[in-house]
Structure formats: structure tokens, C-alpha cells
Amino acid sequence: MQSPSPSPAPPTSATVVPPPWPGGGGSGKIATALAAVALAVAVVAVGLNFVVAGPSTARTATGVPLWAVVAENGTLARGSGVLNVTLSRSGDYNVTFVRSLSGCSFAATLGTTAAGLEPPGSAVVTVMTKSISEVAVATFNSTAAQTDESFHLVALCPNTAPEIQFWAIVASDGDLVSGSPHSNSSGSETVGVEFGQSVTNCAFIAGLGESTSGTPPAGFVTVARLFASANGVFVETYDSSGDYSAEPFHLEVYC
């Protein structure tokens, strides 16, 4: 029997000489070209990283609820999606958010940043034309004089508005007409509205309004945390002269 042929020996290493580059220059030009290609790939990769990171960040910012609770000295007490708050002059606040406010509407109510009493007055919101992410909030006392006041602010934007976590409609006698499950109210002129869980990290928006049909009363409403309960909001109502008055109101809590 004839023995099988031995397997061919592995080729020995040898220097591969590339074919000449058109126009002369040989391997030097190839190395230069390969380095250029590698650099181009690196630049493209870096570019892709920036392209990918940008929209991802934008999507994250777009989905963030936008609201703020601001002290009278311009300090941000709590909020969501707030980049900066400044007090430019008495009663003039600028609130900058992390995203564009295009297509958004706004609601603001005077109110303390914690428990306590806020005097009667009002807050007015204006969109800043020089910045796509900034609004101006002007605060006034009951005599329409512009003064430093603490306030709650909510930006209501298409598809990304903060959800109303709790709500209540309360009659002038302090009785709860309707509201979120497990909510209740008590008091008159100064009404405590309690919900099923804590609202300590939320913003409160309230306005005078009838609990049924009819013309809403003229006056003021302010909000605060309910001192006796982390689940509660303290609502004070006033007539148009700034005196305590039992008035119906609507309350929304955003978190």
C-alpha cells in the first residue's frame, strides 16, 4: 500500500510587496492613503456619535414635565425641567426650562413654597420672544402693585404636559363637589383639600370658579401645603378687595 502524501508545510512568512501605486511611490503612498482612510472613518464615527447623542438628549428633554414652585426671592423651591430662575426686578421673574416652549400654554397661581399663608394677589405669565425656552412671570398684590411674591407655575405642552395627579372642585361653603378618588375638603375661606397620597413634591394651580353653572366670582386665590398633612393643599379665597371671602374654586395638582 502506498503511504499517503505528507501534508504541505505551512508557508513561511514573507514580506509582501504591494504593487506600485499609480504614478509611482509604492508602499509609502499606500500607507498614507490607509492612514487617511482611518482618519476619515474616525471623523465619521465621531460625527455619528454627536448625531446620535443630540436627538437622544432632545427626546429626553421633550418628555420632561415642566413646572416650578418659586420663592419670592427667585429661589427655585422645587420643580421639573427647570434650568434657571432669576428675579430681574421687583415682581419680575424669568423661568428658563430645559426644552422649547413652542406650542405650550401656561398657568400660574400665587402660593407659598411650603406651609403658610400667601397674601392675595395674582401672577401673569408672558412668553419671552428672545428665548424659545423662557417665560416671564409678573406677580402683583391685591391692589395691582407689582411686588415680589412666591408662585406655582406649570407649562402645558402638547403630548408632554405634566399630568394632573389630583384635582378638586370645591363649593363656597368648603364642601367637595367633585375630585380625585379619596379626596376631601373642609373649612371655609381657608379650605384644606386632602388627597390619597403625598403632594409635597408637586405644584398647585387654583382659580376661583363656580362648582356648577353661573358666573365665577371676582377675587383672588392662593395656595400652600397643608400644614397638618403631607397629602393636603391649603387654599385661601378672597374677594376683589383682598378680604377673606368664602368663594368656590377649582384646584389642580401637578407632579
Looking at residue 126, its pLDDT comes to 92
Distance CA 196, CA 4 (A): 88
Task: Read off the pTM.
Answer: 0.74
- Output the average pLDDT for the chain: 80
Residue 40: what pLDDT? Answer: 36
> Residue 214's pLDDT is what?
77
Q: What is the pLDDT of residues 23-56, one digit of tens each?
A: 444 444 434 443 443 433 332 333 322 222 233 3
Report the C-alpha gap between 112 and 109 in whole angstroms.
10
b/e code 93-110 from CB counts within 10 Å (16+ = b): bbbbbbbebeebebbbbb
Distance between CA atoms of 206 and 20, rounded to whole angstroms? 81
Per-residue pLDDT at 161: 57
Q: How far apart are the first and last CA of the chain?
A: 90
pLDDT at 42: 34
Q: What are the mean pLDDT values of the chain's consecutive 10-residue runs (255 residues total)?
A: 48 42 42 39 30 32 85 96 95 95 93 92 90 95 97 87 84 94 90 95 95 84 94 96 94 94
* Residue from 190, 191, 186, 196 nearest 165 by CA: 196
Q: What single DSSP character describes residue 242? A: S
> Is residue 90 a contact partner of residue 147, using CB atoms and an 8 Å limit?
yes
> Domain spans of the chain?
66-254
Q: What is the pLDDT of residues 197-232, one digit of tens each?
A: 999 999 999 999 988 877 878 999 999 999 889 999
**pLDDT at residue number 186:** 92
d(CA 215, CA 219): 12
> Is 31 in a helix, a strand, or coil?
helix
Residues 73, 202: Cα–Cα separation, whole Å = 20
- Cα 20 versus chain centre, distance: 63
